Structure 1
């Protein structure tokens, strides 16, 4: 193995896009455009793209049976950092493949390289995203992206330390803080990892002392951030009025102070639409110390409909099976050397 590099990856990577495989084309179109208020481009009868800003693609919804998020694309600021990420992966014997011209075109990027990620979510890295001057046709004023990336991913796991190690190895992820949440006598422990100024780009959740995988999908939720409180509240109302399943009502989180709600996507994972989270600016970064918070929310985020019953049913089913198989990438999930 090569000697460790002094190249710092932290701060130079940003969540750029996600890829979802689904056969529910019409539902995703209606959910994304009419309920959440995203710009939609219908490439063909089986392929949708959603925009949040001038990037050609932030969500790619492509035809397939999995009904799940299958890949996350991470934009890297410069070629030196890009090469460092690929070196770390290759040095540990993990296979890396170049995306085809068609795959790059669908994702709106010049070139991409792909390698395995936790829970079967492919990690894709790229440096250049295609942008477009075409005006946004969406119901929201604007989304917050830029240096913060497009949002965050929350992943449930039975192997939290391995996932934490993976993102540390690949992206030099830093711990922002922790939350302990009580759910009917069980403690849900959540680690929040940042790779740039966004409070967290990855959240990792597990049930303490119970090695179960409570949900079917690779992620529990994904987050996007609107620019105004009015946008967030208006989209919340549209989701309800259009009959989509609302999982958790508007509330405010204890750690990043974001105001948000959670709705259920057509593929089953949740989408959090939030506003005004804490940003860890360079001034805060220099003195930041992780804190453990008791409970996810200061107020709100109450379960809607059968959300709580469904979640507990999933937990109980998993407890009966007790142990779930979970895909990891051992070469990248060992403690950093």
Structure 2
């Protein structure tokens, strides 16, 4: 592939779609605890903002209690057309978004196609800019060229997820982390599509085809501009009675300081500060031992929570993880 053919650097995580029946809890969590701008459309839809974009998180009424779609902003029409052609040329269906769907997401030129783990991938060319003033409980959030943040997923077929994002978006490997949690050996792959250290993280249990996480994503991440904003959100989460998954700590690979709260839908929400920005001229992938330099201590996890994870891991053996084979051939070495 020539430099002119790549879409790397032209792709940014733009929004996340969540299906939930817990609108009241999510409103308190998003606005009052995390500190986002909340817009209620109807009994069927609610949105959160964290910058000038009309929508960064779209909540739609439904029973899944999970993320159902990732929206990727593409810088220009040429790159957009290139992504669509890659998908269609491999026989994968591409669906045009309706005007109503685009309006709800606050975007223009919307299409979707199947993604791993039954998470739709949606791409758009331009976000709509909000006219209402932004009301947030922080100095601001880091988006722009880095995109919204990142998502992390657990997988029994991590090489296929890496192959998918390499095929569709020319994702690059930033690094690996090897970690042992409760006796299970995990390998985590960190993939980037722009200057952000990673937009997708893929965790897998080594040697066992099990997935201990009920939800399609394990966590999502947003980045605040000031350290005080991260600690302030941590305090609000605790004060408002929302569950904390991991306390404040610092990661080994991207050096981000962060904490992880438990959302009303059951997946985790990471609020982070000051991760490194990748320099493409010097960066080399490496393997880190352990997720955190310090901190990220589990908070509030019970034996019942652990048993639920073990049960889900056992059940996952009965169901083959959804992939998109036509888009998932790695074509690259993957440890």
Relative to the length of structure 1, the TM-score reads 0.95
* In structure 2, distance between residues paired with 1:4 and 1:11: 14
Q: Is the CA contact 2:107–2:127 (under 8 Å) kept in the aligned structure 1?
A: yes
* In structure 2, distance between residues paired with 1:324 and 1:299: 36
* In structure 2, distance between residues paired with 1:111 and 1:164: 26
Three-state SS of the structure 2 residue aligned to 1:285 is coil
Q: Does 2:145 align with 1:150?
A: no
Three-state SS of the structure 1 residue aligned to 2:81 is helix
Aligned to 2:116: 118
Aligned to 2:186: 188
Q: Does 2:284 align with 1:289?
A: yes
Aligned to 2:58: 60
Residue number among 236, 239, 262 corresponding to 2:237 in the alignment: 239
**1:207-240 CA distance string (max 9 Å, x none):** 0001001111100000000110000000000000
Residue number among 267, 270, 273 corresponding to 2:268 in the alignment: 270
Distance 1:182 1:54, change over 3 A: same
Residue number among 24, 27, 40 corresponding to 1:29 in the alignment: 27
Q: Does 2:301 align with 1:306?
A: yes
The range that moved more, 41-50 or 174-183, is 41-50
5+ unaligned residues in a row in structure 1: which ranges? none
Greater than 3 Å deviation, 4+ residue runs: 3-6, 319-324
CA shift for structure 1 position 44: 1.2
* In structure 2, distance between residues paired with 1:308 and 1:274: 28
* In structure 2, distance between residues paired with 1:159 and 1:106: 33
Alignment of 1:92-103 (within 5 A): 92-103=90-101
5+ unaligned residues in a row in structure 2: which ranges? none
Alignment of 1:165-180 (within 5 A): 165-180=163-178
Three-state SS of the structure 1 residue aligned to 2:101 is helix
Q: Is the CA contact 2:177–2:189 (under 8 Å) kept in the aligned structure 1?
A: yes
The range that moved more, 223-232 or 303-312, is 303-312
Q: Does 2:220 align with 1:222?
A: yes
Distance 1:317 1:127, change over 3 A: closer
CA shift for structure 1 position 106: 0.2
* In structure 1, distance between residues paired with 2:60 and 2:174: 33
Three-state SS of the structure 2 residue aligned to 1:206 is strand
CA shift for structure 1 position 309: 6.5
Residue number among 317, 325, 334 corresponding to 2:329 in the alignment: 334
Three-state SS of the structure 1 residue aligned to 2:41 is strand
Q: Is the CA contact 1:253–1:299 (under 8 Å) kept in the aligned structure 2?
A: yes
Aligned to 1:13: 11
Q: Is the CA contact 2:211–2:312 (under 8 Å) kept in the aligned structure 1?
A: no
CA shift for structure 1 position 320: 6.9
Q: Is the CA contact 2:30–2:36 (under 8 Å) kept in the aligned structure 1?
A: yes
Aligned to 2:208: 210
* In structure 2, distance between residues paired with 1:180 and 1:332: 26
**1:3-46 CA distance string (max 9 Å, x none):** 99951110000000000000001001010000000000011122
Q: Is the CA contact 1:152–1:224 (under 8 Å) kept in the aligned structure 2?
A: yes
* In structure 1, distance between residues paired with 2:252 and 2:269: 19
CA shift for structure 1 position 310: 2.2
Relative to the length of structure 2, the TM-score reads 0.96
Distance 1:128 1:307, change over 3 A: farther
CA shift for structure 1 position 58: 0.1
RMSD (Å) for aligned C-alpha atoms: 1.7
Alignment of 1:155-166 (within 5 A): 155-166=153-164
